[in-house]
Amino acid sequence: MKFKVAKKTISTGLITVSRAISANTPIPALSGIKIDCAKNTLILTASNNSDISIQTIIEKNDEDFFEVYEEGSVVIEAKYILEIVRKIDSDLIDFSIVDGSLTKISGDSAEFNINGVKASDYPNIDFSKPLQNFKIDADTIRSVISQTTFASSDEVSRPIFTGVNFSAKDGIMECIATDSFRLAKKTINILAPYNFNITIPAKTLKEVEKIIDREGEVEIAVNEKKVQFYFGATLIQTRLIDGKFPDTSRLIPEEFFSNLIVDSRDILSAIDRASFIKNNDGIPIVKLTLAPDEVIVSSKSQEVGSSVEKLVYEKYSGEPLTISFRGNYVYDAIRFLSTSQVSVEFTTDMKPFVIRDIEDDSIIQLILPVRTYN
């Protein structure tokens, strides 16, 4: 294997695929990045062999220099190759296998010789493309991810809740995440006749969000075992979470009796200040006391003290209501809506309430209230 490539090109590719590498992998080769060098093509692959695999392709073009002199493959420890490429002060970098898997990486006056691993020791990853595939605007899928993944659970004892459920039927796809105390639901249209119901690990989706650009399209391919995201020269593949995602439709109230319309910044700031006071478990419990002529945001702890603030709001309609909730849950829900004004809809003090973007009905954030005794 022998090739020369522009530093910025190889650096971008290496950083992209390295996101798939786990710090604790039982297979030594998976701590490295596999480099496959063929005629006019360089394929970089990284994987943790269970959840996520990423592959990106570098091809010869008119913009960045890339020249192949000898074909071959090798696996190089990710932390070493990333650091070497970063440190070499040269626009072009040479890669070549010296002996066996010993790889020379050089640029200008700097030269490194790194012990690699034979490509044959790298696990075989099936990147075959599922038959069900469709395209979606990149900014749309980024919005889906940011507006849902935060509501997923971190508890591995309930794996189905650590993902986001994607269910498609008749050209409509619903994307739902919940940790059983809050729920985020985003609905989008897709130009595809497929019906599927899959749950994708939220952790993988967050990596997808980091890697894809805001512009262009993303192709998504799914089957009952895996999902793939194609954008540009990069492919992200992830396993699906086993199990049936719960039916959450019954959790969303069909009618509401009270409604608060408020500027997002005003309520976020008020909740942030009130969340400074936490209970014995370190949880910020915030209370909203609502009436047509006044809305109060408050919090109280016997150990710390209390906080009371009048909220600046646009409109409240309905009977007076007092409701308590986890401040961080509501804060996150409003923050990830990324809108200037929100509508908060209530039924009773112990029923879930809903937060909406008043200009976008495709997204719903639902929060379960908590019972307080003061």
Segment 188-210, tens digit of pLDDT: 999 888 999 999 999 999 999 99
The whole-number pLDDT of residue 374 equals: 56
The whole-number pLDDT of residue 299 equals: 94
Q: Which two tokens stand for residue 288?
A: 């909203």
Q: For residue 360, which of 187, 215, 217 has the smallest C-alpha distance? A: 187
Domain 252-367 fold is Proliferating Cell Nuclear Antigen (3.70.10)
Alpha carbon distance 313, 92 (integer Å):
58
Q: Are 42 and 58 in contact (CB under 8 A)?
A: yes
The whole-number pLDDT of residue 373 equals: 60
Ordered by start, the domain boundaries in the chain are 2-121, 132-249, 252-367
Alpha carbon distance 254, 101 (integer Å):
64
The whole-number pLDDT of residue 181 equals: 94
The whole-number pLDDT of residue 107 equals: 93
Q: Are 15 and 82 in contact (CB under 8 A)?
A: yes
Q: Give the count of beta carbons closer than 10 Å to the beta carbon of residue 2.
A: 16
Q: Which CATH superfamily is domain 132-249 in?
A: DNA Polymerase III, subunit A, domain 2 (3.10.150.10)
Length of the chain: 374
Which option is the CATH number for 2-121: 3.10.150.10, 3.60.70.12, 3.30.565.10, 3.60.15.10? 3.10.150.10
The whole-number pLDDT of residue 347 equals: 96
Residues of the chain with pLDDT under 70: 373-374
Q: Are 331 and 256 in contact (CB under 8 A)?
A: no
* Same CATH fold assignment for domains 2-121 and 252-367: no
Alpha carbon distance 98, 120 (integer Å):
17
Alpha carbon distance 65, 81 (integer Å):
19
Q: To which H or E segment does residue 206 belong?
A: helix 202-211
Q: Are 104 and 94 in contact (CB under 8 A)?
A: yes
Alpha carbon distance 102, 113 (integer Å):
7
Kindly compute the dihedral angle of the four CA atoms of residues 349, 351, 357, 359, in this order, to the nearest 10 degrees: -100
Q: Are 355 and 367 in contact (CB under 8 A)?
A: yes
Q: Which two tokens stand for residue 364?
A: 């719903």
Alpha carbon distance 270, 342 (integer Å):
14
Q: What is the pTM of this model?
A: 0.92
Kindly compute the dihedral angle of the four CA atoms of residues 297, 176, 138, 57, in this order, to the nearest 10 degrees: 130
